[in-house]
Structure 1
Amino acid sequence: MKQPISLTWELDSIFPGGSASPQFENFLRKLETDIEALGRQVADAAPPSDLESTRKLDEVIALLQSCSGRLVEAAEFAGCLGAQNQQDKGAVRLSSKVTGLRAGFKGVSSTFDNLLRQTTDEVWSQWMARPEIAPLEFVLGESRDLAREKMSPELESLALTLAVDGYHGWSEHYETIVGSIQIPYEEGEETRLLSVGQAFNKLDDPDPKVRAAMFRKWEVAWGGAEDYCADTLNHLAGFRLNLYNGRGWEDVLKEPLGINRMSHASLDMMWDVITKSKPALVSYLNRKAKLLGLESLAWVDVEAPVGKSSGKIPYDQAANDIVAQFRKFSPKLADFAERAFDSSWIEVEDRPAKRPGGFCVSFPESRESRIFMTYSGTPSNVSTLAHELGHAYHSYLLEDLPLLNQNYAMNVAETASTFAEVIVADAQVKAAASAEEKIALLEAKIQNSVAFFMNIHARFLFETRFYEKRKHGLVNAGELSALMVEAQKEAFCGVLSGYHPHFWASKLHFYISEVPFYNFPYTVGYMFSTGLYRLALQEGASFADKYDSLLRDTGIMTLEDLVSKHLGADLTQPEFWQGAADLIIEDINEFLRMTEHSG
């Protein structure tokens, strides 16, 4: 790879000029014109009455895919601009423009889906049998079925229009709240104001005094914003619930399960296996408390590193290590990661005004990806980097497919990313030069289990209960904090001495309007990826091709069918989930054995 590796990404290859880009403005104008043209085509179309009349809809599908791809390109570019600098007012304006275009496109798509809904089964079967349309059968059939469960096209279009300044407006308002928060941090005799993203990294500091001090300030900061956050969360949820009522949807999980193309039975089975596996994690947390010289862990201690820190991991070293570890599993994956580093697709610089968190976006028109995070040299940062590269690789594998077939669900997206994390973590453990180093690396791996089995379970419990409570009226900030602590206590089996009441305010995922219940798919992806890794260990080098084939099918199958086809397993039964949990418990037992006489 090129050295040194850039700390900042390069966006000019997408659209030069940032938020003032004339090329991007022209791109948006052309996209707006084409969405309007698509609307006219759809409005003039009629449900096909025979096989010949379906050919008119083929033309609609071609333009629909083109507009969809360009809309993603525009949304991701505007999102990247806002993420790299939350003070960029031009990016805010562009995001608002794209949100309006998205609403218009969704309105047209809803009308098109209604044409699919009205197509008779006889004509549908003939249409889907045609070679040029057959590859889209799953996606079009999915849209047809969902259209039959929604309101009329007119009402759906109205809801989408109102959502721009309502539903999505509240989500954008949360970003404004986050951008305004500054948290004081004392470094020597100097006090500086940190952004939320910078302050968040201090919560992982090896020094318990730094962690505890920052956590107190973190809670105070979010407590100061709690009423604004509570208003935002309540109105987001209220819009969503009213939309569900209009569609006759009683189960708040209906939409997120549909988006993730999985059944309630599979989700329930996964949580059941996880709950039965939690005693091993409780033993780990109790041992960790002993190693840290504590009677029990508080929330801020859960992710604290065990043992002496070996210092910050330079970014160049992290990049080279990730590529080397990817190469042991798949040269194709390693080559792709090298391309991402060499092409400056990754933004990691630690600076003010960046939004917190990490993400990966892919640009279907440019056939490139971009990764965003704030790198401070922690093992957690290295994991995040591997995680986001896994996302980018997944999109890369699909870029030659029809655009409609590239829309994979979040849970399988998290499978690819978490699998990449597991590759890195397991390679590090196996290469440990000493028992002390192996303990530290094992502990870092187990931290993921705590996050997915406990932290995310707490988010799922909180959000499920919040939505039930919201059906009966507004839920104030104090009630939200109480719900959050209750969920955390249950998910962590009461093992912690202190919790995070304002987690509901500080976590962006609760405020994402595009994707409801942005929590359980992470755990599904973690369990799925761990199950895949277990098979990779059994099958060796030949598994890489099977893995790529599975990822390429993620946009055209339910999760259950995907697993049945490629792995021969049934997710509504415990065996696959239990196999993944057993591999995790093996790490915990090894950690407990190695630390038995420590502390």
Structure 2
Amino acid sequence: MTGHRAPVADAATASDETLGPLPVWNLGDLYPAHDAPEVTADLEKAEREAAAFAARYQGKLAKIAGRSGGELAAAIREMEALDDLMGRLASFAGLFYAGDTTDPVRQKFYGDIQDKLTTASTHVLFFTLELNRIDDAVLDAALADPDLAHYRPWLSDIRKERPHQLEDRVEQLFHEKAGTGAGAWNRLFDETMAGLRFTVDDKELPLEPTLNLMQDPDSATREKAAKALGKTFRANLPVFTLITNTLAKDKEISDRWRGFEDIADARHLANRVERDVVDALVAAVQEAYPRLSHRYYAMKARWFGKDVIDYWDRNAPLPDADTRRIPWDEARSTVLGAYRRFSPQMAEIAGRFFDEGWIDAPARAGKAPGAFAHPTVPSAHPYVLLNYQGRTRDVMTLAHELGHGVHQVLAAPNGALMAPTPLTLAETASVFGEMLTFKDLLAASDDTKRRRILLAGKVEDMLNTVVRQIAFYAFERKVHTARRRGELTGEEICELWMSVQAESLGPAIRFGEGYETFWTYIPHFIHSPFYVYAYAFGDCLVNSLYAVYEEAESGFQDKYFALLSAGGTKHHSELLAPFGLDATDPAFWRKGLAVIEGFIDELEAAQA
């Protein structure tokens, strides 16, 4: 739309009668508006400086490294500044688009920015490829220079990619086609999902409010929402099947060219975690299914006076639960209070998200579903997206995303190249923030019934984080393995989905018609294949970490902030060592799972 100037923040807040004013983020710290002259100027600057960077350094890095480590460090600093500039543009476009993925103006802007950044970044694609061709002895000698030694963690990380690096022209082709390949299918998924409507009691609802009804106190309402979801997912099954088949094949092509042995090895490499560590986690969780999810859902069925419960009752509030909607101000004070009791510094950082317009909280049509914390770039600050609807789980989601945000703020001084944290450790601060908030609420509750409800809610969240995510990982493995033998029908994918659901959730859950399509709305399968195990990794890690915190006499907070401040500069083994934890030890995972089991034990004892 020519001449249309969509504001960066449509309003400072959005009102809800029960929840009170909900904040809408202000993206002005990135750019004033999508059509502001600053956006155009920075796009032109990115293209110009990327081309100039290539002219200065392409084909010369080995010579530079042999001549001067300081000179190579100067080139990396230039690259880092370019990365920050292009990251600012990409972040702004992504966040602006997330505010309403159905708006044609935002869709076009997002697509145009991606295209232009792909063109600009093609100039600098050579840089890491060429760094990886520098002889080890030459680079080791250059690293004696303190300026270059600063970048040792980043250089070590990119050199782990060497066995899977392709010839430069092939890498360029992969890079340039990303926007019309996987990126385009990701965008199709987002826009399709945002445009779906679900009919409940003659009301046409977007995804998030419909999913919210699955936790309504009224069973009939939950059933209607579940069936509405299944009906719409079923009607759109062909497009989600095509998206899934295409992306799985696209990944198989990339993995084959790069020489990855296992379908998840590319994710493990990106996460800087060893395959056997992930395999140990998966095995430990799957072995614990009967002691965790099977046992808990059987107990929940008894609370409802049944032998089995329908799938739409799995996350239902307990019969005597307090189902009031929690106002935004109360959610804010609850989370910040829990953070403050752990560390005033943590609460101060989290408080900035509320005070400085870094949160977008209302659920609205077209907005990206779910929740996330986006780090943007070190020269700016993170933003948090929520779809806040006043449930206790929404308060925990706020605690979770603010944990990410605090982590991202603390890691930012490492710079654009070393601030990003591998996904396995990226979930540490978020899950720890949830645990702090839960423990705070539990300690404040001296009522037996209230304590049982809080414990049950926490167990359900942990099962969703650990058991469900490992089941999701198993589902992805089945889909990607089967896709290598040929294209899958929608029904075949649905069957694979159901096979992991029954195994992971147990016999106390009854899966009715429609549930077989619920795989269609999980965005991680589309955007980040095999991402999901990071949630289980983070939850089990935090359970062990929190046990250390409860036993520590002093000094834990300092070590914890050092872990978060490290960003991507250290391997998980280095970061966990000060706490006496080792993720390669199977006992580490059993210890984390034992925390969940202990909560279930307490619930069973209270029921007896």
Same fold, TM exceeding 0.5?
yes
Q: Tell whether 2:504 aligns with 1:488.
A: no
Partners of 1:333 and 1:588 lie apart in 2 by 30
- Greater CA deviation, 391-400 or 60-69? 60-69
- Greater CA deviation, 62-71 or 406-415? 62-71
Which amino acid in the other structure matches residue 184 of structure 1? T
Q: Tell whether 2:110 aligns with 1:99.
A: no
Could you tell me which residue of structure 1 aligns to residue 305 of structure 2? 293
Partners of 2:273 and 2:245 lie apart in 1 by 27
Could you tell me which residue of structure 1 aligns to residue 197 of structure 2? 182
Which amino acid in the other structure matches residue 579 of structure 1? K
SS in 1 for 2:67: coil
Query: Counterparts of 1:22-41 in structure 2 under 5 Å?
Result: 22-41=37-56
Q: Residue by residue, what CA displacement relative to the aligned partner does 1:440-484 show, whole Å, maximum 9, x if unpaired?
A: 100111012211232112210110011111111111111111110
Q: Tell whether 2:570 aligns with 1:557.
A: yes
Partners of 1:26 and 1:509 lie apart in 2 by 34
Could you tell me which residue of structure 2 aligns to residue 462 of structure 1? 475
Query: Counterparts of 1:89-238 in structure 2 under 5 Å?
Result: 89-104=104-119, 107-186=122-201, 191-238=202-249
Once the two structures are TM-superposed, the CA of residue 372 in structure 1 deviates from its matched residue by 0.6
Partners of 1:409 and 1:46 lie apart in 2 by 27
Q: Residue by residue, what CA displacement relative to the aligned partner does 1:91-112 show, whole Å, maximum 9, x if unpaired?
A: 2223223323453466455422
Q: Residue by residue, what CA displacement relative to the aligned partner does 1:87-141 show, whole Å, maximum 9, x if unpaired?
A: 3223222322332345346645542222222212221111122111112112112
Q: TM-score when scaled to structure 1?
A: 0.94
Could you tell me which residue of structure 1 aligns to residue 87 of structure 2? 72
What is the aligned counterpart of 2:441 among 403, 407, 428? 428
- Say whether the 8 Å CA contact 1:414–1:525 is kept in structure 2: yes
Query: Counterparts of 1:341-420 in structure 2 under 5 Å?
Result: 341-420=354-433
- Say whether the 8 Å CA contact 2:69–2:145 is kept in structure 1: no
Partners of 1:528 and 1:109 lie apart in 2 by 37
Query: Counterparts of 1:247-262 in structure 2 under 5 Å?
Result: 247-262=258-273
Could you tell me which residue of structure 1 aligns to residue 489 of structure 2? 476
- Say whether the 8 Å CA contact 1:113–1:147 is kept in structure 2: no
- Greater CA deviation, 97-106 or 54-63? 97-106
Once the two structures are TM-superposed, the CA of residue 53 in structure 1 deviates from its matched residue by 4.6
- Say whether the 8 Å CA contact 1:563–1:570 is kept in structure 2: yes
Q: How many residues align?
A: 587
- Say whether the 8 Å CA contact 2:61–2:130 is kept in structure 1: yes
Partners of 2:576 and 2:494 lie apart in 1 by 38
- Say whether the 8 Å CA contact 1:184–1:192 is kept in structure 2: yes
Which amino acid in the other structure matches residue 211 of structure 1? R
What is the aligned counterpart of 1:508 among 523, 530, 533? 523
Once the two structures are TM-superposed, the CA of residue 5 in structure 1 deviates from its matched residue by 6.1
- Say whether the 8 Å CA contact 1:395–1:406 is kept in structure 2: yes
Q: Which runs of 5+ in 1 are unaligned?
A: none
What is the aligned counterpart of 1:311 among 320, 324, 337? 324
- Say whether the 8 Å CA contact 1:197–1:356 is kept in structure 2: yes
Label 1:443 to 1:541 Cα distance change in 2 as closer, same or farther (>3 A).
farther
Partners of 1:110 and 1:558 lie apart in 2 by 25
Percent identity of the aligned residues? 24
- Say whether the 8 Å CA contact 1:356–1:374 is kept in structure 2: yes
Q: CA RMSD in A?
A: 2.0
Q: Which runs of 5+ in 2 are unaligned?
A: 1-12, 14-18
Could you tell me which residue of structure 1 aligns to residue 27 of structure 2? 11
Partners of 1:276 and 1:233 lie apart in 2 by 29
What is the aligned counterpart of 2:550 among 537, 541, 544? 537
What is the aligned counterpart of 2:283 among 272, 276, 281? 272
Which amino acid in the other structure matches residue 314 of structure 2? V
Once the two structures are TM-superposed, the CA of residue 43 in structure 1 deviates from its matched residue by 2.3
SS in 2 for 1:473: coil
Partners of 1:568 and 1:20 lie apart in 2 by 52
- Say whether the 8 Å CA contact 1:202–1:210 is kept in structure 2: yes
Which amino acid in the other structure matches residue 34 of structure 1? E
Label 1:540 to 1:409 Cα distance change in 2 as closer, same or farther (>3 A).
same
Q: Residue by residue, what CA displacement relative to the aligned partner does 1:312-332 show, whole Å, maximum 9, x if unpaired?
A: 111110101111111111111
Once the two structures are TM-superposed, the CA of residue 23 in structure 1 deviates from its matched residue by 2.2
Q: TM-score when scaled to structure 2?
A: 0.92
- Say whether the 8 Å CA contact 1:20–1:90 is kept in structure 2: no
Partners of 2:42 and 2:204 lie apart in 1 by 38
Label 1:437 to 1:549 Cα distance change in 2 as closer, same or farther (>3 A).
same
SS in 1 for 2:576: helix
Once the two structures are TM-superposed, the CA of residue 541 in structure 1 deviates from its matched residue by 5.1
- Greater CA deviation, 140-149 or 546-555? 140-149
Partners of 1:56 and 1:40 lie apart in 2 by 16
Once the two structures are TM-superposed, the CA of residue 388 in structure 1 deviates from its matched residue by 0.5
Q: Residue by residue, what CA displacement relative to the aligned partner does 1:333-378 show, whole Å, maximum 9, x if unpaired?
A: 1111211111121111132221211011123254322111111110
Once the two structures are TM-superposed, the CA of residue 215 in structure 1 deviates from its matched residue by 0.4
What is the aligned counterpart of 1:588 among 588, 593, 600? 600
Label 1:540 to 1:193 Cα distance change in 2 as closer, same or farther (>3 A).
farther
- Say whether the 8 Å CA contact 1:14–1:366 is kept in structure 2: no
Label 1:129 to 1:108 Cα distance change in 2 as closer, same or farther (>3 A).
farther
